[in-house]
């Protein structure tokens, strides 16, 4: 009787070991497949997990957009989304100077191109004024233009110094037929600071979903900038903490997830002339806004 009990125990042990090994094999297979599908953490040359953090002054807790002039990061030109002010400061400054260009409103981005400052309001209204006014109390020569962009909500804008073209991406527009594409508009900056329509483009949200391996991605662009070294467009969608990289023709090349602990509310973006990437976060009542610097490494 004892011999039969021993054989039964050995048989059960063999079954248990076989099952355990099979389970381990399945887990390893799934793990390998997931590794193959894993989304890269950062674009080539950058580590999005290791920023240098610069706190913004109290007046810029809600830094919704910023820009450099000719890629020079020694001065930052920023705006916050409640006042018609353009702030100027150096990274790390505790106070910022400012000039008034318009009444209070929901301002979302700023670009500097060919000695003109361009300000974007969330409803698509654009303001331009000469760059030499940025350190005056109140900007002179301000032009306000409405109707260049369709009805909608806008937060992302960038300008190309060489061509004088200004690019604006819609966060949500009335003329978008579905959520499978995001509309972009191109404006030409004139010598007198006015803007004229010059074309449009589209971002394929289906391709973003494919690369991110997700369905129904709520792509809502909140910032954009051109990496002139690679001729690529970098686009941030704050609502789902995502960085999208597209080529010069706006074809989506890669999608990178952003850490929710580092990117609290990413709303602004720019490159300097050393290829370093900067992304700003809006703050709140408990935390200061900041600009994060991601140094380029070969």
pLDDT in tens, the chain (298 residues): 444 344 554 454 444 444 444 444 434 444 444 444 455 589 999 999 999 999 999 999 999 999 999 999 999 999 988 999 999 999 999 999 999 999 999 999 999 999 999 999 999 999 999 999 999 999 999 999 999 999 999 999 999 999 999 999 999 887 665 568 899 999 999 999 999 999 999 999 999 999 999 888 889 999 999 999 999 999 999 999 999 999 999 999 999 999 999 999 999 999 999 999 999 999 887 788 999 999 999 7
Assess contact for 91 and 54: CB atoms under 8 A: yes
Query: Which of 125, 177, 178, 128 shows the shortest CA–CA distance to 153?
Result: 125
**Structure-block tokens of residue 27:** 């887990």
Q: Phi-psi category of 140—alpha, beta or left, where left has phi over 0 and alpha has psi -120 to 50?
A: beta
Assess contact for 237 and 220: CB atoms under 8 A: yes
The Cα-based distances of 204 to 105, 167, 210, 219 in angstroms read 31, 16, 10, 10
Which residues are CB-contacts of 247 (< 8 A; sequence separation ≥ 6)? 231, 232, 233, 253
Q: Which residue matches tokens 């301002």?
A: 107
Q: Which residue matches tokens 């960085």?
A: 243
Query: Is domain 41-294 in CATH 2.120.10.30, yes or no?
Result: yes
- Cross-strand pairs, 256: 243
- Cross-strand pairs, 181: 204
Query: Which of 50, 57, 65, 42 shows the shortest CA–CA distance to 279?
Result: 65
DSSP H/E element including 27: helix 2-37
């Amino acid at each position: 009787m004892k011999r039969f009990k021993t054989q039964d125990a050995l048989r059960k042990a063999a079954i248990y070991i076989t099952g355990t090994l099979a389970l381990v094999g399945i887990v390893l297979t799934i793990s390998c497949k997931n590794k193959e599908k894993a989304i890269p953490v950062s674009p080539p040359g950058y580590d999005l997990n290791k920023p240098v953090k610069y706190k913004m002054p109290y007046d810029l807790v809600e830094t919704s957009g910023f820009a450099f002039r000719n890629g020079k990061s020694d001065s930052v030109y920023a705006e916050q989304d409640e006042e018609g002010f353009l702030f100027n400061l150096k990274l790390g400054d505790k106070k910022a100077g400012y000039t008034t260009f318009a009444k209070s409103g929901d301002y979302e981005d700023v670009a500097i191109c060919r000695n003109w400052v361009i300000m974007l309001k969330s409803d698509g209204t654009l303001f331009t004024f000469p760059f030499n006014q940025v350190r005056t109390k109140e900007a002179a020569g301000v032009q306000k233009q409405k109707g260049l962009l369709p009805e909608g909500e806008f937060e992302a804008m960038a300008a190309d110094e060489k061509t004088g073209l200004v690019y604006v991406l819609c966060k949500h527009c009335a003329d978008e037929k579905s959520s499978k594409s995001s509309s972009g508009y191109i404006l030409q900056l004139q010598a007198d600071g006015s803007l004229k329509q010059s074309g449009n483009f589209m971002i394929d949200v289906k391709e973003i979903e494919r690369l991110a391996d997700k369905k129904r991605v709520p792509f809502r662009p909140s910032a954009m900038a051109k990496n002139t070294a690679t001729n690529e467009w970098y686009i941030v969608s704050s609502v789902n903490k995502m960085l999208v990289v597209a080529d010069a023709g706006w074809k989506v090349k890669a999608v990178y997830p952003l850490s929710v602990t580092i990117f609290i509310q990413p709303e602004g973006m720019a490159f300097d002339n050393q290829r370093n990437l900067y992304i700003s976060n809006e703050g709140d009542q408990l935390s200061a806004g900041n600009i994060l610097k991601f140094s380029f490494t070969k």
